[in-house]
Amino acid sequence: MKNQYYKNTHDRNFENFKYVYPVISRRSGGLSLGINLNPDKICNFGCIYCQVNRNQMSKHIVNLEILEQELNIMLEMIQDNSLFLHERFQNTDESKLVFKDIAIAGDGEPSVSKYLLETLQILQKFNKLFHIPKIVIISNATGFQREKTKEAFKILALLNGEVWAKLDAGTQSYFETINQYSTSINKIIKNIQDLNPQVKLQIQTCFMKVNQVLPSTEEIHQYGLRLKEIIDVRKVDTVQIYTIARDPAEKYVDAIPLQKLKDICKPLHQIDIQIDYYSGSAN
């Protein structure tokens, strides 16, 4: 029941809003206000577990004025508690009706969005007007070396924000299988290592069954070595290990039951890092 609850409350469409949407997030542990900088659904990764339907992509120019208006309305609704009276949340456990963060994620990759810097500037202004618990950028790390992205991260650091950087594999072959991207995984690791040290970092990892096959022991081992490469260079607050919770892009992808997920990841506990686990649609 819990997994269905998350599935039903993670819709990125809300009323007539174009860019801002409220969701109950399993990893945030409550209400996360999402900002979608890619309503065109364009992403440089093609993750086999992604729930975004990329067969319906269309060109879209983000209107930052509308984004700012939507954000203002949503933050006011949170402030006066009227958002929690919306029918979307009528069956939500009261313990989850807590504003946890604003997450820049959506239907594409925010670190390569030309709107990221301006969006952080908007958030910087709103941070003075509203209580924003935390600002998070959920990213695959491909755009971390872009100058405008670095400028955005400077603002994120001033706001005591976080980056949740994706790392779903340890080997090049598995990286390409899962994320459907042909760049070197070494480049992804380097981008994460070089992230502004003033920005808090969490690593987010989605493991799944592919054609009913779990990640191999060797893959988990190599993944652990990749984690060590990052941790040896910069601080990582937490590693989030989870499995799919919504309908994936490919039908041959399935969730891993939570206990099995913990079992296959036991070797990772030799690393001096906090690991948090999140179940999906399999229990």
DSSP 120-157: HHHHHHHTTTS----EEEEE-STTTTSHHHHHHHHHHH
Average pLDDT value for the chain: 92
Q: What is the CA radius of gyration of the chain?
A: 18
- Return the domain boundaries, the chain: 2-278
CA distance 239 to 131: 26
User: 2-278 — its CATH code?
Assistant: 3.20.20.70
**The pTM is what?**
0.91
35-87 tens-digit pLDDT = 999 998 889 999 999 988 766 656 778 999 999 999 999 999 999 999 999 99
Please name every residue paired with 163 in a beta bridge, in sequence order, or none if there are none. 137, 201
Instruction: Note whether 43 and 109 are within 8 A (CB).
Output: yes
Mean pLDDT to the nearest integer, 259-283: 90
Instruction: Note whether 155 and 135 are within 8 A (CB).
Output: no
CA dihedral 179, 40, 163, 125 (to 10 degrees): 180
CA dihedral 175, 179, 184, 189 (to 10 degrees): -80
227-262 tens-digit pLDDT = 999 999 999 999 999 999 888 989 999 999 999 999
